[in-house]
Amino acid sequence: MSLLAIQSDALGYGDQRVLGPVSLDIRAGEHLILLGKSGCGKSTLLNHIYSENRSECALIPQGLGLVECLSVFHNVYMGRLPRYTVLHNIRNLIRPAQARVAEVQPLLERLGLADKCFSLVADLSGGQQQRVAVARALFQDAPVLLADEPVSALDGPEADRVMSLLGQNFSTAVITLHDVDRALRYGQRIIAIQNGELVLDQPSGRLTASALNEFY
């Protein structure tokens, strides 16, 4: 069953065409991986999907979108800002409610950030910041995950742990990756982008790493 449908003659920034035409159905319950060289249009497509379906999607952007002068807790909590009143959110900014801290802390523990709850994001390493962005997406608890290189700053075992965690918590996901082996392990469907076009759309079980390397 199609969950999200993307139809566009061209995608890009301003007058600059990056990708198109695009015809893409994202089915409920599938993990879709976008592959291709840097600048090929993966992020453009991901951001377009998000702009058209904000209420249904949790986004991990490539730039992470964190507020560095705030704590890890507050950055994760922002995943649920729309669920609470403005007054509740202001109070929580000044003095975090124990109930909200109790909701966030287990996610931080699963991501190896248990002791960083009230650390400033600016004081964290790149890998730790990336895991904060992952925690925020998990905390948002949206039906669909959109993630742009969500493990690029993590080493192999840590990257696999985070990918597994995302897979367990989001039944439907669209993720951009550069690692073809990881794409085959965690993706059910692979789309490759080349020269501004979607040139491959296949179940991962039909593909090999060597076949996908040509897109890099």
**How do residues 15-44 score in pLDDT, each as one tens digit?**
788 888 889 999 999 999 999 998 899 999
> Contact at 8 Å (CB) between 149 and 133?
no
Look at residue 150 in the predicted model and tell me its pLDDT. Answer: 97
31 forms beta bridges with 173
Look at residue 154 in the predicted model and tell me its pLDDT. Answer: 96
Q: Which domain holds residue 160?
A: 2-215
Tokens of 8: 């566009």
Strand, helix or coil at 21? Answer: coil
Per the structure, the count of domains in the chain is 1
Look at residue 13 in the predicted model and tell me its pLDDT. Answer: 79
Tokens of 180: 């073809």
> Contact at 8 Å (CB) between 144 and 56?
yes
5 forms beta bridges with 25
**CB count, 10 Å around CB of 207?**
19
Look at residue 153 in the predicted model and tell me its pLDDT. Answer: 96
**CB count, 10 Å around CB of 146?**
27
Q: 158: part of which helix (H) or strand (E)? A: helix 156-169
> Contact at 8 Å (CB) between 190 and 183?
yes
Look at residue 12 in the predicted model and tell me its pLDDT. Answer: 84
Q: What is the CATH number of the domain that holds 89?
A: 3.40.50.300
Tokens 């994001």 correspond to: 121
Tokens of 71: 């704590």
One digit per residue, the tens of pLDDT, for the chain of length 216 reads 678 888 888 888 777 888 888 899 999 999 999 999 988 999 999 999 999 999 999 999 999 999 999 999 999 999 999 999 999 999 999 999 999 999 999 999 999 999 999 999 999 999 999 999 999 999 999 999 999 999 999 999 999 999 999 999 999 999 999 999 999 999 999 999 998 899 999 999 999 999 999 888
173 forms beta bridges with 31, 145
Look at residue 1 in the predicted model and tell me its pLDDT. Answer: 65
> What's the rounded Cα separation, in Å, for the pair 208 and 201?
13
